[in-house]
Structure 1
Amino acid sequence: MEHADFNQNLLDFLNESPTPWHAVQAMTRQLDAAGFQALDEREEWHLDEGQGYYVVRNGSSLVAFRTGKGDPARAGIRMVGAHTDSPCLKVKPNPELRRKGFFQVGVEVYGGVLLNPWFDRDLSLAGRVTCLDGEGKVRDLLVNFARPVAFIPSLAIHLDREANSNRSVNAQTDLPPVMMQVPENDQTTLNELLIQQLRKQQPDVDVRKVLGYELSFYDAQPASLIGLNEEFIASARLDNLLSCYIGLRSLLDTSGQKPALLVCNDHEEVGSMSAEGAQGPFLGAVLERWCGAGRGRAIARSMMVSADNAHGIHPNFMDKHDENHGPLINQGPVIKVNHNQRYATNSRSAALYRHISDELGLPCQTFVVRSDMGCGSTIGPLTAANLGVTTLDIGVPQLGMHSVREMTGTRDSYTLYQVLREFMQWDAVN
């Protein structure tokens, strides 16, 4: 796959993945097309050598793997991890607000959202709806309005003279998006609007009643190449759907000779403590069923690459980085190091990545947070602690992390893909 094709396919993936459920659905479509077989956790598994498989939990987390040609207890497993969720505004269970003829919905902040960029954006709405169909069955359906349906207007500067110097956002009162105008006696519910949309999108399903939902607003502007030379990618959810896509393409395009695995967990942005999060049992359960009694030996010979975007140096805020560790966009993926174990990188895992990168003639960089600042984290330390597997934290540099729209470089994603594809077929990983 060439550089330009890779980036165009990445943009397509970002645009069709407004929520974790849509992202997993998009990934499973590609896995199906490549001949991977879906596994059901409720059933017995019969795994064949040299075959690809995948498992989905909660519709929002995925583990896909190639069994390879050898016993994983002897060959080890080349693992790549990412997360499917991004900071956003999620709809509350009883969201309807009617104020001065405006129909609004209450929202809850999910994760560490950079709130100010959400104002004055064309927003759409998507997620999972659990409903009752005409046959009395409870079903999960994905919904996506796929067009601008909401807006969070800023307060005019004439009414807030300190807006440019001292503006704060009240998550309860300032964020409910405006969705439409309604008459004074209006009793429209969001559930009714969801049923209408589901019937448009899935006319073959007789949706009778909405029983629950998990919905989030998202920026309706599609992902795009930007810059005079189109050297940047601008999009929502680059953190961390970009890494999900890189991991997926690496797994699909590897030789398949070695045992290799991709895990994409939900709930990283809120701590990963869930049945399908990195602190939960999902990955361990899959490995137990794949490797059986050889799981411990397999893990001891394995390595995990936790791929999650890194803080690229911002030209307007260069003092926010350590002077020797300011990653530059389009200068290579970033090995992330933190000796307080906010990242799981050690000298051995970093050395293997650098060796593969050097063998391919590709660049890489290193990030260490300033010693006087706090450090974020990833699924890397959680997975390393749960499994006891050697782990590397790496990611492409980006700007605007946790904003409604973020920016990365066009070359870095393809570089990381090339290295991870090679890693997934490397002879010895540990």
Structure 2
Amino acid sequence: MNRENLWKNYTEDEKKRIFEFSEEYKAYLDSAKTEREFVTVTEEELKKNGFVNINEKTELKTGDKVYFNNRDKNLIAVIVGKDIKSGINMIVSHIDSPRLDLKPNPIKEEEEFALLNTHYYGGIKKYQWAATPLALHGVVFLADGKKVTLSIGEKDTDPVFSVPDILPHLSYKVQDDRNTREVIKGEELKLLFGNMPVNDENVKKQTKQLVLNKLKEEYGIEEDDFITAELEVVPAGKLRDVGIDQSMIGGYGQDDRICAYTSLRALYEVENPEKTVMVYLTDKEEIGSEGSTSLKTTLPELIVGKLLSMTEKNYNDQILRETLWNSKALSSDVTAAMNPVFKSVHDPENVARLSYGLAFAKYTGSRGKVSANDADAEFIQEIRQIFNKNDIKYQFGGFGKVDEGGGGTVAKFLAYYGIRTIDAGPALLSMHSLFEISSKADLYETYRAYKVFFEI
């Protein structure tokens, strides 16, 4: 239990390798700010690393590398081992992050401003989204079926968008007495989208008309097309180094794409595995894993059944159930790091710390361990032994003090199939904010840990 800050014992060569790894990570996340973008970028990387779409195969053999794309929201990548029935070693991460989504009819005009109506997605502190530069990402399907992909606000030449806040000079009555959750209310999360009216006295809403004209001219988008759109509002800008020592990384979407990235990097280096190994990137975790692209579906059965049907001559449903039951998984999600400013919410003997390595959470849930998986001691011991053998730096930590609060992961949905599962990922500061903080040391140790897990 005598863990310590990893930076104390790294050599200069190790630090150099960690910093190089971190630069690659930052660039990857900068190019993939939504779940759709992460799938698009990752599918190309999988192909470069020898993976083939499983739908192009009629049978599978040991060593084959395949992937499955579910509706551009999930990616499941697999390297086939010698006997799939003996179980799969899988690392499961989610690639959705808290954000603002546009409503189906988003554009309105108030006081000659064109505003975008939004509905927040996942657990956010709404006040953090005001008075800060925001970008618009997503897809729109036009009436003729054409798909338009948008990313506005990331280039230096792009405009950005922002939720206007009230100045402190005038906030005394309308805002200052609100509780924290309502400093900015949900219906006040409206983005400034334009302020220039068309010069046409016959048009009632002249500012709204001008932005509609620009959308039509530049992208072919009509107002009705928003009903067939998935447009997400995310922080504008890139991930940045944090601290004078550049030991940390700050930026949006690290929950949980830091786990997705490290699991993929680990997968690319797996060679000739005894067990079948899988990286499963899922969606909708931030809203309770609901929907056809979440983990709370029959997709795990579909993909494992597909693998078995392409390798087993006498495949049947019982083999599918036994394969899942024999499998092992890391529910690779981030956890809360000891916060030096708000220490009181943590149990100091049972909290993860930045730069202490991969963080295991035996249970992640709410009060009374409700909605938790609560990993069994036998599975934890198995991982502990192989991690110790390979000098993997890890720690154990909980979310906070008992009755302080809690959070959920996808672990319980994996456990539903009998898959032995434990939560494991880096610790973050400022989780679910627009600028989450991770440690470069933890990033690299998580990648090392996932490589070893695949070898179990």
Normalised by the length of structure 2, the TM-score is: 0.84
Provide, for residues 65-95 of structure 1, a one-character-per-residue CA deviation record: whole Å limited to 9, x for no partner.
1113x02113x21100010111111001111
CA distance in 1, matches of 2:380, 2:215: 48
Aligned pair 1:311/2:336, yes or no? Answer: yes
**Closer, same or farther in 2 for the Cα pair 1:247/1:192, shift >3 Å?**
farther
Match of 2:402 among 363, 371, 381: 371
Most deviating of 307-316 and 340-349? 340-349
Query: Tell me, which stretches of 5 or more residues in structure 2 are unaligned?
Result: 1-13, 198-204, 310-315, 364-368
User: What's the offset of the Cα at 1:323?
Assistant: 2.9
- Report which of the two has the higher share of helix: 2
User: What's the offset of the Cα at 1:423?
Assistant: 1.3
Provide, for residues 199-240 of structure 1, a one-character-per-residue CA deviation record: whole Å limited to 9, x for no partner.
79xxxxxxx967611111111121011111111110101111
User: What's the offset of the Cα at 1:25?
Assistant: 0.6
Contact 1:268-1:378 at 8 Å conserved across structures: yes
CA distance in 1, matches of 2:226, 2:433: 31
CA distance in 2, matches of 1:150, 1:187: 15
CA distance in 2, matches of 1:4, 1:395: 19
**Closer, same or farther in 2 for the Cα pair 1:353/1:378, shift >3 Å?**
same
SS in 1 for 2:44: helix
CA distance in 2, matches of 1:22, 1:286: 22
SS in 1 for 2:305: helix
Aligned pair 1:67/2:80, yes or no? Answer: yes
Provide, for residues 156-194 of structure 1, a one-character-per-residue CA deviation record: whole Å limited to 9, x for no partner.
001113756745245443210102212152443877655
CA distance in 2, matches of 1:115, 1:417: 32
CA distance in 1, matches of 2:216, 2:451: 42
Counterpart in 1 of 2:357?
Answer: 332
Counterpart in 2 of 1:281?
Answer: 298
**Closer, same or farther in 2 for the Cα pair 1:197/1:272, shift >3 Å?**
farther
**Closer, same or farther in 2 for the Cα pair 1:104/1:372, shift >3 Å?**
same
Counterpart in 1 of 2:134?
Answer: 123
Contact 2:127-2:183 at 8 Å conserved across structures: yes
CA distance in 1, matches of 2:385, 2:294: 31
Report the number of matched residues: 410
Provide, for residues 339-372 of structure 1, a one-character-per-residue CA deviation record: whole Å limited to 9, x for no partner.
5452442212322332232122232111234222
Letter aligned with residue 72 of structure 1: I
Provide, for residues 288-312 of structure 1, a one-character-per-residue CA deviation record: whole Å limited to 9, x for no partner.
1112433233223320101110000
Counterpart in 2 of 1:217?
Answer: 233
Contact 1:310-1:398 at 8 Å conserved across structures: yes
Provide, for residues 28-52 of structure 1, a one-character-per-residue CA deviation record: whole Å limited to 9, x for no partner.
1110111100134xx8743232111
Letter aligned with residue 139 of structure 2: R
For 1:28-427, what aligned pairs fall within 5 Å after superposition?
A: 28-40=43-55, 45-68=58-81, 70-74=82-86, 76-132=87-143, 136=144, 138-145=145-152, 146=154, 147-161=158-172, 166=178, 168-183=182-197, 185-188=206-209, 196=217, 198=219, 212-257=228-273, 258-292=275-309, 293=316, 294-338=319-363, 339-368=369-398, 369-385=400-416, 387-426=417-456
Provide, for residues 91-148 of structure 1, a one-character-per-residue CA deviation record: whole Å limited to 9, x for no partner.
011111112221110000111112121112111100122235xxx5x34443211344
Q: CA RMSD in A?
A: 2.4
Q: Please identify the structure whose Cα radius of gyration is greater.
A: 2
Contact 1:354-1:364 at 8 Å conserved across structures: no
**Closer, same or farther in 2 for the Cα pair 1:30/1:196, shift >3 Å?**
farther
**Closer, same or farther in 2 for the Cα pair 1:44/1:250, shift >3 Å?**
closer
User: What's the offset of the Cα at 1:149?
Assistant: 2.1
Provide, for residues 363-397 of structure 1, a one-character-per-residue CA deviation record: whole Å limited to 9, x for no partner.
21112342222321101111211x22111111111
Letter aligned with residue 192 of structure 2: V
Letter aligned with residue 229 of structure 2: Y
User: What's the offset of the Cα at 1:152?
Assistant: 1.3
Identity %: 22
User: What's the offset of the Cα at 1:22?
Assistant: 0.2
SS in 2 for 1:412: helix
SS in 1 for 2:206: coil
Query: Tell me, which stretches of 5 or more residues in structure 1 are unaligned?
Result: 201-207
Normalised by the length of structure 1, the TM-score is: 0.89
Contact 2:97-2:122 at 8 Å conserved across structures: yes
Contact 1:263-1:283 at 8 Å conserved across structures: no
CA distance in 2, matches of 1:109, 1:269: 11
**Closer, same or farther in 2 for the Cα pair 1:164/1:155, shift >3 Å?**
same
CA distance in 2, matches of 1:408, 1:221: 17
